[in-house]
Amino acid sequence: MNLRLRLSPRLLSFTMGLSLSACSWAQSDKTDFGAVAGTVVNMLMDNHYSRRDFDNELSKKALQNYIDYYDYNRLYFTKAEIESFHANYETKLDDYVALNKIDPAKEIFKAYAQHLKDRAAKIRELLQPGKLDFNTKEEASISRKDAPWANSEAELDELWKRQITREVLQERLKISLAALRKKEKTEAEVKKADATGQPAPATEAAPLKPEEAKPFEDAKDGKAKEKMPDTPEQKVQKRYDSFLKIIQEYDDEDITNFFLSAIASAYDPHSEYLSAPEEDRFKIEMKKSVIGIGAELGMKDGAAEIRRVVPTGPADKSGAIHVGDLITGVGEGAEGELKNLDGLKLQKIVELIRGSENTTVRLRIIPADDPTTFREVRIVRQKVEIKDTLAKAELIEMNKPGAAPLRIGWIQLESFYGDMENSNRRGAMSATGHVRALLNRLQKENISGLVLDLRGNGGGFLEEAIRLSGLFIKSGPVVQQRDNRDRTEPRFSRGSEPVYSGPLVVVTDRASASASEICAAALQDYGRAVVVGDKTTFGKGTVQTILPVADQMPLFSEHDRAGSLKVTIQKFYRINGWSTQHKGVAADVVLPSRYDAMEVGESFLKDPLPYDVIKTMKFDMAPTNPLPIADLKSRSEARVTANPEFKYITDYVTRTHDIIKKNTLSLNENDRIAEDTATEATFFKQKQERKTRIAEANKTGDPYTVFPLTLDTLGEATLKTDAQVKKDAKPEARLSPDDGEGDPTTTADDEETFPHGIEPVKAETLQVVRDLIELTTQAPKNTAKRD
């Protein structure tokens, strides 16, 4: 049984993020999704940790979850409709699915789709010239998730008028902000030129005002010669047209997907139904490989657009596929008919492109650089490794005048990935195997300390978390699991000796969840590592498994696309008996974080399982115990207090809290421009202060020398610096903007950057490692047992 510990995607990632992948098997319209629903509910009752029947109480929760999937901000349904849904189905969903029926889901979706279609027509009317007022004193709500449902269609019309005014205004503000940033950049360049005596660079034309965005016309024939940027109104219109098209393409499989996920999440927020395409995406995410052409797609103008080309993949090697190209036809094999893609969902287009290894797919391409023509491309499908999310490392030299560089290893792990189906096979994909390889190379470089960066790591496979923890401790317990029959099972690392025994810091944030929390907690409990970062991690202390639905359906039923159920079957506990559920793993050294302003974590989710504790296990403390936590905290607090970068973060948190509490935005353009100008002035001042500090720090030489290390460069005799890598290496991936037009508010020059990518948290973590090395060099250790 492969156990998975990871955060769950929801409606937004499915409807607006279809660009990544889809399944590779043949389509089937025969699957009985009513039977799928009945089977999934039986599987939930049999396997979920709570051992609860799908009763009236859960039926009520599931109904509200399903409504929220479609109308989270309460902008489509009226109060009367919601009351009708509850009256008809609140205590009856369990009865319907017991009869293998999904009629309530279809009815609610049908009503939603009709509302969306009607609303799109009204939005189109609102976006006509002169319809919106940007001199108003009105305000719009930021979030309506807790607002009452509208009493009438007229009330919804007024809410939507404010919503569309807000969205168009936001696009207008982007243009104004782009002009402001260009002005700041020009003034800074002129000031620099005056100081150095060099001529200032030629200035570019200012961005167009919103009302000036129209096609360029030739003076002679009046024909459009160049596509100008969309107006703010056009951008908003395209956004809703695109969303309407997605919804209109929904079929029973999509409706069942949301309906069953609504039921599963009534049990707990991490149980969910995975449709066939989502199941395929999950496998790709965990195995970090896929059979295909090595490109990611998105929809644009009714065609599939190349959004990303993976270096060294088949598409890249062909030399015929480029970012921005449009795919309008797909054919199987070296010869034969090309299937036109008009009207197909992106999910189905990707299914056509995917196939078996070493088979040929033909694509009809409209090139991005010449949209007046098309070409046919033949590509042989191959296994493509998704390398940009694999474990990676850096050798960082901390430089001080008159002293030898202090060498620190930094390993970044975005997930606990692995190929659990082939875990015992030599060379199988494994986060632990990759980290071990990076760690061995770093130790050859004589590192004095190590950082394991788990920020943003939402989890992965339980077994990988256990194995990876064992790289840093002797054989011993790592985590405890308890099932729905109150049976507790300890899980052990099996390595007799750790791969690395030196000073160790684990850095986490609020997005570090599940398997990340197992690893961080174990190393903390053993006294093996200092945890640095946000106040606490996510707080997900539950274990899920993936169960194929088809396996539980009647033998001769149609279930080609029955999908899978991801269901919570266990809770996990630290070896000290504490649960990480809700509370997460508290950092030993806490740093200010932008997450402090956000509702991120298990406690903010609906219907999470409760926190509890169990018996502490017996284990031997690591030789590094006790760690000098108090000294590390006091030293760090002094630096953080004196560091303006962390003051910027705390100011951001305060501002964001105020905005969230107010929950409204002005719809007056002049007022918003004044607000944005003041905010931009603050950010510009911070950037200038940062540049001054960096220049001052570099007067005696660069404080850091960084040597990137990837799985592809492990065998190189001499590591290259990040500057050499940037100069010599091909980009890891080539991307196009999601909407094909880019964001006018940011440029490469405008983005806030830090030398070597060492931002405030990373810089402070490195200082904590330096302190740890200094404080533990001669300190006596306590290896007593914990009872």
The Cα–Cα gap between 420 and 463 comes to 9
Annotated active-site residue 242? The verdict is no
Ramachandran region, residue 567 (left: φ > 0; alpha: ψ -120 to 50; beta: rest): beta
One-letter amino acid of 30: K
Residue 51 DSSP symbol: -
- Reported residue count of the chain is 787
169 to 177, 223, 274, 475: CA distances (angstroms): 12, 30, 38, 60
**Catalytic pick among 525, 534, 588, 771:** 525
Could you tell me the end-to-end alpha-carbon distance of the chain, in angstroms, rounded to an integer?
Answer: 31
Catalytic (active site) residue 423: no
Q: Which position has the token pair 């009226």?
A: 78
Phi/psi for 364 (5° steps) reads: -95, 120
CA distance 245 to 247: 5
Catalytic-labelled residue, pool 161, 300, 392, 540: 540
Tokens in use for 771? 């302190």
Q: What is the 3-state secondary structure (H, E, C) of 130-157?
A: CCCCCCCCCEEECCCCCCCCECCHHHHH
Strands (E), 399-453: 406-412, 449-453
For residue 352, give the 3-state DSSP assignment: helix
Helix-helix angle 669-697:644-662, to 10 degrees: 160
Q: Give the separation between CA 232 and CA 167, rounded to whole angstroms.
A: 8
Helix (H, G, I), strand (E, B), or coil: what is residue 577? coil
Neighbours of 30 (CB within 10 A): 10
- Two tokens, residue 412: 């970044």
Residues 6+ apart with CB under 8 A from 364: 327, 328, 329, 330, 331, 338, 374, 375, 376
C-alpha 602/C-alpha 677 separation (Å) is 36
- What is the DSSP code (8-state) at residue 48? S
Q: Report whether 336 contacts 354 (CB < 8 A).
A: no
Active site residue 525: yes
User: Do residues 542 and 592 lie in contact, with contact meaning Cβ atoms separated by under 8 Å?
Assistant: no
Distance from C-alpha of 629 to C-alpha of 305, rounded to nearest angstrom: 52
Residue 382: helix, strand or coil by DSSP? strand
Q: 51-74: b or e for each residue (b if 16 or more CB lie within 10 Å)?
A: eeebeeebbbbbbbbbbbbbbeeb
CB 442 within 8 A of CB 484: no
CB 295 within 8 A of CB 331: no
For residue 83, the tally of other CB atoms under 10 A from its CB is 13
* 3-state class (DSSP) for residue 78: strand
Amino acid at 688: Q
Distance CA 717, CA 183 (A): 47
Annotated catalytic residue, options 514, 564, 593, 636: 514
List Cα–Cα distances, 691 to 684, 687, 749, 752, 753, in angstroms.
11, 6, 13, 10, 10
Active-site annotation, residues: 514, 525, 540
